Amino acid sequence: MKIKYKKMLLLLTTCAMGIGMVTLSFSLENKMSSDEPNPVSVAVQPRTNTNDVSAFAADPVVSVAPTATPEPKNELELNKYADINKVVKEFYEAKLTCSEEDFIPIVTNANQLDMERLQRKIEYVNSYQNINCYTKKGINEIDYVVYVSYDLELATIDTYAPSIDELRITYVDGSPKVYLGTISEETSEYLKKLRTSEDVEVLVSDVVTRLDEACASDENLNEFYQNIQKSSAQAAKENTESQTNSVDTASANPSTLGR
């Protein structure tokens, strides 16, 4: 499957509070085929025949081990859960108002939000249109993983920008909330595996294609997208340099020498 992800700055794990514009990033790898049938284990046992001089001359008894029950499929489900659809739409509405009070009832930990950064991110966003929720079952602290596709309406640009985000949903006292917080290493690996599943790849490929087509049809949208790409690349570079400087500073600190 040829998918044009390398052209995009796609950051699934960090896009939830971003501006949008297809912000998903996956490492697409060739997967080994799993279509081969499971091998059948056959055990041959001798049958004793009192009318024969050889106890092993009779036909053998063949016992066939039962085939293992396959794991249930975890396929994408479109808009299946009304309560999840509701909280997801409320989440995007809260992004537009940029009010912490609007986030508190619908997220697990509003303290995780950087409201100033969010305000800068949504400065040019008018609305989120045509929101659709594609869900897969989660594990551990995440009950459901939701891939949210939508059309981004940007100020002063006529053409909508197809986009997709990943949100994590957990149920608290019977109600779904957008999970904001740390996740275990096991959960992180599970999320990576979901992103490389075939149906998610197809979904993202469709969004990427539609965004390419939208940018090709609208010069203003294309210019805006290119600027987003450059800004994101610069931010990633500055973040890397900041982490490097922090390590260098720690190494030069006299209190850490000799340890």
**Is this structure's pTM higher than 0.85?**
no
Q: Quick one: which of 24, 3, 21, 15 has its CA closest to 160?
A: 21
Alpha helices by DSSP H, listed for 70-113, are 82-97, 100-103
List the pLDDT tens digit at each of the 259 positions of the chain. Answer: 444 443 333 333 334 445 455 543 332 222 333 333 333 333 334 344 444 444 444 455 555 556 666 667 899 999 999 999 999 999 999 999 999 999 999 999 999 999 999 998 899 999 999 999 999 999 999 999 999 999 999 999 999 999 999 999 999 999 999 999 999 999 999 999 999 999 999 999 999 999 999 999 999 999 999 998 888 788 777 777 666 554 443 434 433 323 3
Q: Which residues contact 105 (CB under 8 A, 6 or more apart)?
A: none
Q: Quick one: which of 188, 217, 164, 219 has its CA closest to 8?
A: 164
Per-residue tokens: 63: 């016992």
Q: Quick one: which of 70, 73, 80, 85 has its CA closest to 197?
A: 73
